[in-house]
């Protein structure tokens, strides 16, 4: 099943689950509303499939609790949390110091918890003969210092850059760890020629139809019609493919935690929901969707 179809099906199932828990038969041919609590959950597009699957499964376990999930990007979710319009922000990056300071100014501590692990896969069209790239090469490609595939062992073709938009946590992580190679003093930026996509599906669609394209995405969004590049941390270092195993053992160089963020320590229904996510049932869903569970 493709990612797009899975998003649609999960959305439909979640909507039906919400409808099912809103009313139950009263035994007299009518319906009685069931008291429910809604948890508002917003943020990372990388995590939206995972969040939908969690919400669907939790509705079966706790029908009195309704979990409403929307995407929009990590930055969008964090802003909504700080504005008090959601209970949980999903983020595919850690909070910045500026964001932590903003939370304190608003009178609370922003608390982040790791709920899964992920690899950022570098993807190209299946016809591209390039198999391996180093982090320095990727930095030169995405800044625009390298513009032709033959400069990295490919054919004489222009490189087409495909990136997420700047409100994406995946964008922010790739910028800091790949484009800037983890150097705090680097001011490197993505090339202005990069095509900015609002979603993971946008990156997938461009890469699968453009033989010159290169993009990056969460491992759970990679489809068979994309080619995954093996990545080496430096010239001469082992080239490693992203997988749950290489994320766990630390050999894949572009891996990261996935977070949920709350206003202070979660309590009540939110705390119970997050504990379930980190438990065996929630982590089994992490594995099922192609991410890396905590345990």
- Supply the CATH number for residue 269's domain: 3.40.190.10
Nearest to 282 by CA among 111, 21, 67, 86: 67
> What's the pLDDT tens digit per position in 175-208?
999 999 999 999 999 999 999 999 888 999 999 9
**Residues forming beta bridges with residue 37, ordered by sequence position:** 65
Rounded to 5°, the CA angle 111-113-118 comes to 140
In a domain, 153, yes or no: yes
> What's the pLDDT tens digit per position in 263-284?
999 999 999 999 999 999 999 9
In a domain, 133, yes or no: yes
Statement: residue 215 has pLDDT above 70? yes
Tell me, what's the pLDDT at 34? 56
- Indicate if 175 and 269 belong to the same structural domain: no
> What's the pLDDT tens digit per position in 147-157?
999 999 999 99
What token pair was written down for 76? 């969008």
Tell me, what's the pLDDT at 52? 97
Cβ burial, residue 5 (10 Å; 0-12/13-18/19+): exposed
Confidence of residue 36 (pLDDT cuts 50, 70, 90): confident
- Indicate if 98 and 141 belong to the same structural domain: no
Range of the domain at 54: 3-22+37-117+257-288
Average confidence score pLDDT of the chain:
90
- Indicate if 136 and 16 belong to the same structural domain: no
In a domain, 234, yes or no: yes
What token pair was written down for 24? 């139950």
In a domain, 295, yes or no: no
In a domain, 78, yes or no: yes
Confidence of residue 220 (pLDDT cuts 50, 70, 90): confident
- Indicate if 188 and 92 belong to the same structural domain: no
- Indicate if 243 and 277 belong to the same structural domain: no
- Indicate if 14 and 92 belong to the same structural domain: yes
- Indicate if 90 and 153 belong to the same structural domain: no
Count of domains for the chain = 2
Interatomic CA distance for residues 267 and 253, integer angstroms: 35
In a domain, 92, yes or no: yes
């Amino acid at each position: 099943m493709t990612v797009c179809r899975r998003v649609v099906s999960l959305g439909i199932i979640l909507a039906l689950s919400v409808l099912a828990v809103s009313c139950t038969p009263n035994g007299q041919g009518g319906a009685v509303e069931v008291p429910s609590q809604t948890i508002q959950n917003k943020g990372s597009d990388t995590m939206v499939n995972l969040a939908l699957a969690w919400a669907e499964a939790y509705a079966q376990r706790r029908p009195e609790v309704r979990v409403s999930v929307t995407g929009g990007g990590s930055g969008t979710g964090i802003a909504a949390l700080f504005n008090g319009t959601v209970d949980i922000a999903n983020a595919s990056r850690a909070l910045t110091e500026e964001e932590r300071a903003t939370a304190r100014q608003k009178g609370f501590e922003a608390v982040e918890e790791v709920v899964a692990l992920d690899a950022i896969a570098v993807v190209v069209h299946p016809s591209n003969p390039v198999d391996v790239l180093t982090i320095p090469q990727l930095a030169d490609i995405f800044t625009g210092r390298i513009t032709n595939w033959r400069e990295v062992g490919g054919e004489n073709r222009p490189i087409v850059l495909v990136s997420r938009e700047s409100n994406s946590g995946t964008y922010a992580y790739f910028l800091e760890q790949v484009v800037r190679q983890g150097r705090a003093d680097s001011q490197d930026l993505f090339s202005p020629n990069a095509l900015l996509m609002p979603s993971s599906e946008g990156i997938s669609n461009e890469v699968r139809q453009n033989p010159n394209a290169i993009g990056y995405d969460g491992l759970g969004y990679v489809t068979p019609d994309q080619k995954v590049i093996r990545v080496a941390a430096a010239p001469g270092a082992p080239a490693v493919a992203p997988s749950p195993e290489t994320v766990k053992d630390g050999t894949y160089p572009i891996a990261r935690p996935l977070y949920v963020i709350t206003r202070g320590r979660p309590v009540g229904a939110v705390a119970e929901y997050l504990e379930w996510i980190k438990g065996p049932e929630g982590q089994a869903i992490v594995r099922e969707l192609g991410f890396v569970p905590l345990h």
